Structure 1
Amino acid sequence: MDHERSLRERLIDVGAELVASEGAGALGLREIARRAGVSHGAPRRHFPTHHSLLSAIARRGFADLAGRVTALEAAAAQATPRERVRAIGRAYVGYALENPGMFSLMFRHDLLDGSGEAPSEEPRLRESTLPLFGLLVALVGRCGVAEPSVTAAALWANLHGVAQLWGWGSLPLALGEDPATDVERLVDAAVDAHLGGAPA
């Protein structure tokens, strides 16, 4: 059983390394099996479909992103809700820019198994975003906005757009300034635009 679990984790590890180096388009079952040193049929013992393997790899990305946010929250006990929202926004966009292949895969629901590869043990993959979104809603609510869920959803969409447009080169071209400074300024501007004059 440990050997089987080890193989399952090795396949996910290899997939995560492959998506980091070559992008989601490189995530073929045969290539993952080859790099893991197993027969091309071996992944089927753990992942009945290609989508289920991609979903397990994407779940690793959601776990990594959640770990970053958890670490931020642990260090932000004295921060105001607005400061915490800014920190989460920066972490979200930062993760996207540091891990473009994984970030792209995580939201490619056309490629992923929305039911999750092991429904009895893990939540549906699409539900992996709900804890982070719930935290964002709670913090936005503490900033005094009228509709926290709607505002948090709009902010999330804004941050996701910043991440994608920056990664594609559109925003750097439009702004033409120092990249690190611009990303932080864009995140802060998005937070301020959605939270408005609400109290910190």
Structure 2
Amino acid sequence: MTPYHHGNLRNQVLATAAELVAAAGPDALSLRDLARRAGVSHAAPTYHFKDRRGLFTALATQGFDLLAAALSAGEAGGRLDAAAGTYVGFAITHPGYYAVMFRLDLVHDTDAAFRAARRHVFDLLAARIDAGIPPTREAGRAATSEAVWSLVHGIAALTLAEALGTPDPVALARSTALRLVGTYGP
């Protein structure tokens, strides 16, 4: 394939990077191999992202933006159990993004766009979790919120590592999040 420049180069490189990271992990990614697989010149990724950290920062930022959109859509926009399921479902369907989103050792964590996208997801999650905590659990709200996020993040990570034996990790996240906050309804 002859490398060429096209109008959607940045997104093409990011999509290819997400595929490569999903298949082999972030440590296996090289900018030269990424360029070859994306069908662009070997300098193209460097032009857009400067280095691997810049690429991973852009990939993580895009991942947070995609997760925010999923958490804002439909049922996940207002229900704790749906948001928990959406979070795990996102990790399963977007493993290349998810693999770099929480790896501060891979990204420029001072990047303004990255920080804003990450903060937006955390704010959405906190709002969904907060809304799902019954008034009787008011005293432990902060700890409960962190426990729910840890729970769904753990289910996602264990599922991706193929270490969780459940056939339906999304359903597990939904039901367990509700159990953790002490409610079984919306």
TM-score normalised according to structure 2 size: 0.79
1:65 has 2:71 as partner: no
1:169 aligns with 162
1:196 has 2:185 as partner: no
Partner Cα distance (1:62, 1:165) in 2: 20
1:6-48 Cα offsets, whole Å, 9 max, x none, are 3323322321232234432332111111123333223222222
1:86 has 2:81 as partner: yes
Partner Cα distance (2:107, 2:143) in 1: 26
Q: Is the 8 A contact 2:178 2:184 kept in 1?
A: no
Q: Among 88, 95, 98, which residue is 2:90 paired with?
A: 95
Partner AA of 1:129 in structure 2: R
Q: Is the 8 A contact 1:22 1:101 kept in 2?
A: no
Deviation at 1:169, TM superposition (A): 3.0
Partner Cα distance (2:74, 2:35) in 1: 36
Q: Among 105, 119, 132, which residue is 1:130 paired with?
A: 119
1:52 aligns with 54
Unmatched 5+ residue regions in structure 2? none
Partner AA of 1:87 in structure 2: A
1:154 aligns with 147
1:27 has 2:29 as partner: yes
1:173-192 maps to which residues of 2 (within 5 A)? 179-180=167-168, 183-192=170-179
Q: Percent identity?
A: 37
Partner AA of 1:61 in structure 2: G
1:39 aligns with 41
Partner AA of 1:190 in structure 2: A
Partner Cα distance (2:92, 2:47) in 1: 34
Deviation at 1:187, TM superposition (A): 3.4
List, as ranges, runs of 4+ consecutive aligned residues in structure 1 with deviation greater than 6 Å.
none
